[in-house]
Chains A and B, each alone.
Chain A
Amino acid sequence: MAVFPSTAAAQARNKPRRPRSQRAAYLFIAPIAIGFAVFYIWPLLQTFYFSFTSFGVFGGNSWIGGENYERVLQDVTVGRALLNTLLYTVMGLITLPVSIIIAELLNRPGLRGVAIYRALYFLPFVTLPAAIGLLWNWLYNGDYGLINEVLSWIGIDGRYWVSDPTTAAYAIGLVMIWSHVGYYLIIFLAGIKAIPRDYYEAAELDGAGPVRRFVRITLPLLSPSIFFTSVISVITSLQAFDLIYIMMSQRNPALGSTQSIVTLFYKWAFEENAQGPAAALAFLLMLLIAALTFLQFRLQKRWVHYA
């Protein structure tokens, strides 16, 4: 049966046509959307699938149900890694007040060379974690390290900071703080700049000192930035890997007290041929991150002021 060209054209006209601009929008988000699907969504689904399989070292998976999850929950090292990770998270959050104070100091009217300070503080953030880890390992070195050398000038006996189980996690946490201050600093500097000067002038007229102005004006008006950075900081700390991996050698006796969830995951997946349990662990970590982020969003109503 022949279709009359006029009918076909009429049908096409009757279809609701998307405006051109909308189609263009899809084209614009296509690169990121495809990238996201290929590099995030697909691996996520795969990991979820692998977490229910026994992963053949030389290929071939077999379905084993929830066994991997059972193993993760029974494992003592998982509990310890979780505690260490939470310690890193708390230390990561300490970065925020440190950055705010530095931002406030850099924001003092009449301070010269702000750009230089900003660059100096930001440098560690753009430096390779591998380089940072190696450098700090030298500083922390128990026999020849600069830190112990300086301590000896004032008569304090040094330690083996990164191989002593009582100090290693804090030593690594300190490096994490140091390398992230610059990033949060930039965000807080911008946040402080956005606060209208009138508030401060009014407060000054009412007799508020610098500390009071900081607590009563800067902090509340900075709270959206603080909220954003605390979400980012918690996620980053829960995924802590690179510095620990670089700074802790295989034979370090502090291994058990510094290992994070992700370094444990790495060990299982890439050294011990336990890809199945590793996938389960990674999936549980994702759930934990999602839960904590959700909680933060719920709590934000209580303390975040959007001016």
Chain B
Amino acid sequence: MNSSYARRRRVNALMLALTALCAAVSASVLLGILGYIAWRGASSLSWAFLTRLPAPVGETGGGIANAIVGSAKVVGTAALLGIPVGVASGLYLAEYGRRGRFGFLVRYAADVMNGVPSIVIGLFAYALVVMPMKRFSALSGSVALALIMIPVVLRSTEDFVGQVPGTIREAALALGVPRWKAVAFVVLPTARRGILTASLLALSRAAGETAPLIFTSFGSPYWDQGLLNPIATLPQTLYNYAISPYEDWHRQAWAAALVLMLFVLAVNASARLWLRPPQGSSS
């Protein structure tokens, strides 16, 4: 009895220590990545790097200003295309499509699309936009990123609108407000915090996507030349530099990684911190 209990105690301690080790490994991977990127990136980061165009192949120096602007354009356009569609469809599901076949199908399609690899989404944007237009373009990249954002925004909007208490909806209806106004001007604003957070998270994910951009927005060493031309983006420039044979480009890849990571993590972290609701706001 006693020895068996001691053995159980030992198993307990061992297994719990193992789980702690797992958590430590997971956490240290993150810290390791952050620290290493900061260390390698910071030494190459400079004002010139952020404000200059890339140097011609073979020359050292140059910057990624066009890629930063390009990423902002491609991701911004994607947000303009994707977020309204995601919010509107999520609102539909929460307000009119809770039951019924159409609602189920839309929900299922969103879940499927959410699981589709981003490279396949890129392939779709390629077949949909690049092939008919016979050219790589910023627009096709934005379409791909928008398709990545829509399911995320859609499902979160549905969740957050669904959490708005029915009494808020009824209070608006009882004032003699038409249903669409009650939904658009009372229910939707009540859920706006969650929706905004989800949109920011989707945006930060889209900003880091590389795979679907390789054969849509394609990349470019120049300043942006409009939505219908190829455009440089930050993740893809980073990718090109990383797999290149040039030492100087590797250095720039680390700096670009630091810029990209700072942006993505800042948006992501602030969205998550902001989402935590103030006490007592939900009932």
Question: Do the two chains bind?
Answer: no
Which residues of B come within 8 Å of A, CB atoms? none
